[in-house]
Structure 1
Amino acid sequence: MYVTAAINCVKEAGFDGVEIHGANGYVIDQFLKDCSNPRIDSYGGSHENRARFLREVVAAVTNAIGGDPVGIRFAPLNSFMAQKDSNPVALSEHVANAMNDFELTYVHVICNDFDDVQKGVVVPIFCEHYNGTLVVNGGYTKEEAEETISTGKVDAVAFGVPFIANPDLVKRFELDARLNTPDPPSFYSGGARGYNDYPLME
Structure 2
Amino acid sequence: MPLDLFAPFNLGGLTLANRMVMAPMTRNRADADGCVPPLMVDHYRQRATAGLIVAESTTVSPQAVGYPFTPGLYTGAQAASWRRLTDAVHEEGGRIFVQLQHCGRISHPDLLDGQAPVAPSALAPAGRAVTYSGAQDFVTPRALGAGELPDVVDQFRRAAALARQAGFDGIEVHAGNGYLIDQFLRDGTNHRTDAYGGSATARLRLLDEVLDAVCEQWPTEQVGVRLTPENGFNSMSDSDPQGHFEYFLRQLSARGLAYAHVLEGGMATTTVSLDYSRLRKRFAGAYIANNGYDLARAQAAVRAGTADLVSFGTPFIANPDLVHRYRENLPLAAADPAGFYGGGEAGYTDYPFHQGDAPQTRALATEADARPAAGAAR
Give the TM-score normalised by the residue count of structure 1.
0.93
Which deviates more from structure 2 when the two are superposed, residues 25-34 or residues 126-135?
Answer: 126-135
| Structure 2 residue matching 1:41: 3-state secondary structure | coil
Indicate how the Cα distance of structure 1 residues 185 and 89 shifts in structure 2: closer, same or farther if over 3 A, else same. farther
* Higher strand residue share: 2
Indicate how the Cα distance of structure 1 residues 81 and 200 shifts in structure 2: closer, same or farther if over 3 A, else same. same
Which of residues 124, 130, 148 in structure 1 aligns to 2:301?
148
For the pair 1:159 / 2:312, whether they are aligned, the reply is yes
Gaps of 5+ in 1: none
Shift of 1:142: 0.6
> 1:73 maps to which residue?
226
Aligned-partner Cα distance in 1 for 2:333–2:262: 25
* 1:113-192 mapped onto 2 (5 Å cutoff): 113-116=266-269, 119-187=272-340, 189-192=341-344
Shift of 1:122: 4.0
> 2:10 maps to which residue?
none
Asked which structure has the greater CA Rg, the reply is 2
| Higher RCO, 1 vs 2 (CA within 8 Å, ≥6 residues apart) | 2
* Higher helix residue share: 1
Shift of 1:108: 0.7
For the pair 1:32 / 2:189, whether they are aligned, the reply is no
| Structure 1 residue matching 2:317: 3-state secondary structure | helix
Aligned-partner Cα distance in 2 for 1:122–1:54: 23
Gaps of 5+ in 2: 1-154, 356-378
Which of residues 248, 253, 256 in structure 2 aligns to 1:103?
256
| Structure 1 residue matching 2:273: 3-state secondary structure | coil
CA contact (8 A) 1:92 1:125 kept: no
Paired AA for residue 26 in structure 1? Y
Aligned-partner Cα distance in 2 for 1:120–1:74: 15
For the pair 1:17 / 2:170, whether they are aligned, the reply is yes
Aligned-partner Cα distance in 1 for 2:166–2:254: 28
Shift of 1:19: 0.9
Shift of 1:117: 8.8
> 1:84 maps to which residue?
237
Q: RMSD over aligned Cα, in angstroms?
A: 1.5
1:74-104 C-alpha deviation (Å, 9 max, x unpaired)? 0001111111212110121111111123121
Shift of 1:118: 7.0
Indicate how the Cα distance of structure 1 residues 150 and 63 shifts in structure 2: closer, same or farther if over 3 A, else same. same
Paired AA for residue 195 in structure 1? Y
Identity value in percent: 38
> 2:130 maps to which residue?
none
Shift of 1:132: 1.2
**Length, aligned pairs only:** 200
Which of residues 214, 237, 243 in structure 2 aligns to 1:61?
214
> 1:4 maps to which residue?
158
